[in-house]
Structure 1
Amino acid sequence: MNKITRRQALGTTAGALTVLGIAGATAHAAATDSRAAATTPAGTVDEVYMGRRIQISPASGGGHHGGHHGGAGMPSVRIDGRELHVMQNADGTWISVVNHYETYADPTSLARAAVRELQGSQLAPMQMGGM
């Protein structure tokens, strides 16, 4: 007769709980991601992600920061009304002041990653200019 050991039972239980946890987290992330807000003009985003409001609007006229860091192509990215400074790399990927070491395919992915990284903290105003 084949008997299951206590170690095998605990391992099986731990594995099943892990699978359930991953499935639950994936379902939560999918539900959170699908909460994009009502219709917005082309190129804009207004959504709630993980309880934080993300607003992205295309750049206008003179560009972000008077034309530096990419000029007229920089969108305005805000999290809960506070500006998230972003920059587009030469290869078309995006980075932010929250994390300069990871790149993202678009400003929406970048803003969502910043929300996750902030872990509930507010963005602090960025000091621009010299000393």
Structure 2
Amino acid sequence: MSRITRRQALGVTAGAALGLTAAGRATAAPEPAAGSSAHPTGPAPFEEIFMGRRIKGGPSRGGGHHGGHHGGYSIRIDGGELHVMRNADGTWISVITHYEPVATPLAVARAAVRELQGAPLVPLTSS
């Protein structure tokens, strides 16, 4: 009669727990941040003055030249386009705040304005 060892039991338990965790992450949709008003098809449009800058966001028209990396959403600061991207976990980043993911496009626009510290948003060019 073969007996299971403590090491084997721990390995099976750890593997099962890891599998359940991965399955839960794969099926759970990211929840909207508290206070955000998400559309059924995406984040709600916004327009406001923040720290003296006009920020505006909404669903983008057409595919754009970035192949949809922007999550189907366009953000403008004082009329200039802020390049944004939606991460796989539902968070958002911009070309200015690339290493600081936030929950909503409004939050990424505000973070970019804070980071710009009054400097103009310079358009990105492909060279």
Please indicate the TM-score interval, normalised by the length of the shorter structure.
0.5 to 0.7
Are the aligned partners of 1:44 and 1:57 in contact in 2 as well (CA < 8 Å)? yes
2:44 is aligned to 43
TM-score by length of 2: 0.61
Q: Which has the higher contact order (CA 8 A, sep 6+)?
A: 2
User: 1:88 is matched with which residue?
Assistant: 86
Task: Give CA deviations for 1:22-62 in whole Å, capped at 9, x if unaligned.
Answer: xxxxxxxxxxxxxxxxxxxx9321100010000101123x3
Identity over aligned residues, as a percent?
58
| Structure 1: unaligned runs, 5 residues or longer | 1-41
Whole-Å Cα distance in 1 between the matches of residues 46 and 65 of structure 2? Answer: 21
- The answer for the alignment partner of 1:13 in structure 2 is none
Please state how far the C-alpha of 1:99 moved relative to its aligned partner: 1.7
What is the one-letter code of the residue matched to 1:99? Answer: T
Runs of 4+ off more than 3 Å: none
Structure 2: segments with no counterpart, 5+ residues = 1-42
1:97 aligns with 2:98: no
Task: Determine the C-alpha separation between the residues in 1 that align with 2:66 and 2:49.
Answer: 29
**Which position in structure 2 is the counterpart of 1:27?**
none
Q: Give the Cα separation in 2 of the matches to 1:64 and 1:43.
A: 19
Secondary structure, counterpart of 1:114 in structure 2: helix
Give RMSD over aligned pairs: 1.8
Q: Is the 8 A contact 1:96 1:110 kept in 2?
A: yes
Structure 1 contact 85–97 (Cα < 8 Å) conserved: yes
What is the distance in 1 between the residues matched to 2:67 and 2:57? 18
